[in-house]
């Protein structure tokens, strides 16, 4: 008898899962609700032919050889398709100036009296925090002053001034800003010998960071950006081609109508507007779990979090960017609405364009209040672009429902839905960022890879 797997969700997780499953199943069908696969890893083109990425741009190796070969090709052919980035250059803007050596906000950019008070509190906080809420966590680890002057404004920028910040969980810290820079670089280096300080301070000198890596026998993974001029879309195109060539059927513009079970197994998947069922021995689910529960007729805990909208301003300028080294930059300073910048010529030195993307998070109804002129002005003020630079072309891309405002209630309800689904169905793998267990690209892919292999081993 033919074995059949169905993958729901055609993001990077679903594409990888389909490829892996096709090695073990005779038939694999990938179902995607939108008109194209790729999820958040997609690119758009403006009228001048410049490409920009949608939300995620710079994938990194997972450290699992088989998986990395599947995702990025054999070592021998990698440099042909990828700019392999050994050290991803980041930096951040905070307190009115750039620090191009670290992604963490530098507390020394605060007013001197505030800085000194903050250092006093931070050094006295010598306990690990068990807090699940981000503000109490930061107050316990960084102290009240740094939490008030650094963390609060960042949370307001990412989750909105209207949001009750006291309800936000540690999930709100997904961009890593709960670490900060403080003290002189040698003092910070010594303090980081102690695990409790290691978790809240960043290194300020490359030599210290490298010495630590040597001591831990650890290394930073390779990051990848396509050599083609079409942005990260070429990764999605590459994977899609591989998936199709392996014999997987990709069905876009499809919504799940229902899932039919026998006992504790999903046997048939029905698509809206199609009465013919897709047979199923294994269901790999990378869409939100509550959708599977609804399609199964199982109880769903109503979970309506506020979902943040991302506005990505993609700019094509008539002058070279002033920053010619950083791949991407965080803007933690509250003066700007932008939270992240991607500088394409630094990712792809062969690029014909002077392009960048500036990301802003907001509520859906706030989209119109963010204008190109304001973004350009802020970029000039931060000296990312020259004062006389002009936009040759641009796209204001609006992506709704990017990620939820993480409250305890949301996370608990998500867990309940996840558990109901997991405990009701035996032939399902619930994965991807929507499952809520992982969020970063490499973490999502490693988890999915391990889950699939464990499932196959147990069969
Ligand atoms: C603003 C933003 C910035 C990010 N930045 C980074 C970063 O810097 N580094 C990093 O490592 N990660 C980053 N991430 C996370 C990264 O994008 C994810 O790890 C990655 O996209 C996960 O892939 P996925 O396939 O699980 O999810 P997605 O990319 O979200 O794909 C899910 C797919 O499922 C489809 N789908 C949903 N519901 C259904 C349904 N009912 N039926 C069929 N299909 C469905 C969707 O249309 C989509 O194509 C960022 C995410 C966001 C939102």
Q: Which of 327, 337, 322, 334 is nearest to 373 (CA)?
A: 337
- For 388, list phi and psi in degrees, rounded to 5: -95, 0
For atom 38 of ligand 1, the residue with the nearest CA is: 287
For atom 20 of ligand 1, the residue with the nearest CA is: 441
Q: Atom of ligand 1 at shortest distance to CA of 431?
A: 26
For atom 8 of ligand 1, the residue with the nearest CA is: 56
6, 7, 8, 9: residue to mutate for ligand 1 pocket, most atoms within 8 A of CB? 9
List of residues 6+ apart from 88 with CB closer than 8 A: 58, 60, 220, 223, 327, 328
pLDDT of residue 156: 97
pLDDT of residue 288: 93
Distance, in Å, from the CA atom of 84 to the CA atom of 60, rounded to the nearest integer, reads 9
For atom 6 of ligand 1, the residue with the nearest CA is: 56
Alpha helices in 7-103 (DSSP H): 12-22, 65-72, 75-81
Tokens of 178: 């709960």
Q: Atom of ligand 1 at shortest distance to CA of 361?
A: 1
- For 410, list phi and psi in degrees, rounded to 5: -60, -45
- Beta carbon of 340 within 6 Å of any ligand 1 atom: no
Side by side, which strands form the sheet with 265-271?
256-262, 265-271, 278-279
Residue 356, beta-bridge partner list: 315, 343
19, 32, 40, 347: residue to mutate for ligand 1 pocket, most atoms within 8 A of CB? 40
34 CA from centroid of ligand 1 (Å): 13
336 CA from centroid of ligand 1 (Å): 26
Answer yes or no: are the C-beta atoms of 85 and 223 closer than 8 Å: yes
* 99-216 CATH fold: protoporphyrinogen ix oxidase, domain 3 (1.10.3110)
H/E stretch holding 293 reads helix 289-296
List of residues 6+ apart from 395 with CB closer than 8 A: 44, 46, 52, 312, 313, 314
Answer yes or no: are the C-beta atoms of 255 and 36 closer than 8 Å: no
Q: Do 99-216 and 306-404 have matching folds?
A: no
Class of 306-404 in CATH: alpha beta
pLDDT of residue 55: 78
433, 446, 448: residue to mutate for ligand 1 pocket, most atoms within 8 A of CB? 433
pLDDT of residue 305: 85
Distance, in Å, from the CA atom of 6 to the CA atom of 428, rounded to the nearest integer, reads 10
Q: Could you tell me the sign of the dihedral formed by the alpha carbons of 131, 134, 140, 142, in that order? A: positive
In a structure prediction context, what are the per-residue pLDDT tens digits for the chain, which is 459 residues long? Answer: 789 999 999 999 999 999 999 999 999 999 999 999 999 999 999 999 999 998 788 999 999 999 999 999 999 988 889 999 999 999 999 999 999 999 999 999 999 999 999 999 999 999 999 999 999 999 999 999 999 999 999 999 999 999 999 999 999 998 999 999 999 999 999 999 999 999 999 999 999 999 999 999 999 999 999 999 899 999 999 999 999 999 999 999 999 999 999 999 999 999 999 999 999 999 999 999 999 999 999 999 987 889 999 999 999 999 999 999 999 999 999 999 999 999 999 999 888 899 999 999 999 999 999 999 999 999 999 999 999 999 999 999 999 999 899 999 999 999 999 999 999 999 999 999 999 899 999 999 999 999 999 999 998
- Beta carbon of 243 within 6 Å of any ligand 1 atom: no
Q: Atom of ligand 1 at shortest distance to CA of 438?
A: 19
The number of C-alpha atoms within 13 Å of 188 and in the hemisphere containing its C-beta is: 22
The number of C-alpha atoms within 13 Å of 105 and in the hemisphere containing its C-beta is: 26
Question: What ranges do the domains of the chain cover?
Answer: 4-39+231-302+407-458, 99-216, 306-404
pLDDT of residue 255: 95
- For 245, list phi and psi in degrees, rounded to 5: -65, -30
* 4-39+231-302+407-458 CATH fold: FAD/NAD(P)-binding domain (3.50.50)
- How many beta carbons lie within 10 A of that of residue 393, not counting itself? 15
């Amino acid at each position: 008898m033919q074995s059949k797997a169905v993958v729901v969700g055609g993001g990077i997780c679903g594409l990888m899962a389909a490829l892996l499953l096709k090695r073990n199943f005779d038939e694999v069908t990938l179902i995607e609700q939108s008109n194209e696969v790729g999820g958040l890893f997609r690119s758009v083109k403006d009228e001048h032919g410049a490409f920009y990425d949608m939300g995620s741009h710079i994938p990194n190796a997972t450290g699992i050889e088989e998986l990395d070969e599947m995702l990025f090709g054999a070592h021998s052919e990698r440099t042909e398709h990828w700019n392999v980035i050994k050290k991803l250059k980041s930096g951040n803007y905070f307190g009115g100036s750039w620090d191009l050596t670290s992604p963490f906000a530098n507390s020394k950019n605060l007013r001197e009296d505030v800085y000194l008070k903050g250092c006093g509190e931070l050094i006295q906080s010598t306990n690990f925090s068990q807090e699940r809420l981000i503000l109490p966590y930061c107050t316990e680890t960084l102290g009240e002053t740094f939490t008030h002057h650094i963390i609060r404004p960042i949370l307001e920028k990412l989750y909105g001034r209207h949001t009750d910040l006291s309800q936000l969980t540690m999930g709100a810290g997904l961009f890593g800003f709960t670490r900060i820079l403080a003290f002189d670089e040698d003092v910070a280096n010594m303090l980081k010998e102690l695990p409790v300080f290691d978790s809240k301070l960043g290194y300020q000198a490359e030599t210290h960071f490298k010495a630590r890596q040597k001591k831990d026998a650890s290394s930073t993974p390779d990051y990848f950006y396509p050599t083609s001029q079409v942005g990260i879309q070429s990764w999605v195109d590459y994977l899609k081609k591989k998936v199709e060539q392996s014999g997987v059927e990709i069905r876009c513009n499809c919504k799940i109508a229902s899932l039919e079970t026998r006992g504790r197994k999903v046997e048939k998947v029905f698509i809206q507007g199609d009465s013919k069922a897709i047979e199923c021995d294994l269901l790999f689910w990378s869409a939100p779990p509550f959708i599977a529960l609804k399609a199964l007729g199982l109880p769903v805990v109503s979970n309506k979090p506020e979902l943040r909208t991302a506005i990505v301003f993609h700019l094509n300028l008539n002058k070279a960017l002033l920053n010619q080294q950083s791949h991407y930059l965080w803007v933690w300073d509250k003066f700007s609405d932008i939270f992240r910048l991607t500088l394409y010529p630094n990712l792809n030195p062969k690029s014909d364009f002077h392009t960048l993307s500036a990301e802003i998070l907001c509520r859906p109804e706030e989209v119109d209040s963010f204008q190109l002129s304001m973004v350009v002005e802020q970029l000039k003020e931060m000296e990312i672009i020259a004062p006389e630079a002009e936009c040759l072309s641009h796209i204001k891309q609006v992506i709704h429902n990017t990620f939820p405002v993480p409250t305890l209630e949301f996370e608990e309800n998500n867990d309940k839905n996840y558990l109901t689904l997991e405990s009701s169905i035996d032939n399902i793998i619930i994965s991807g960022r929507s499952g809520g267990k992982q969020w970063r690209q490499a973490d999502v892919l490693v988890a999915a890879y391990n889950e699939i292999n464990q499932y196959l081993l147990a069969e």
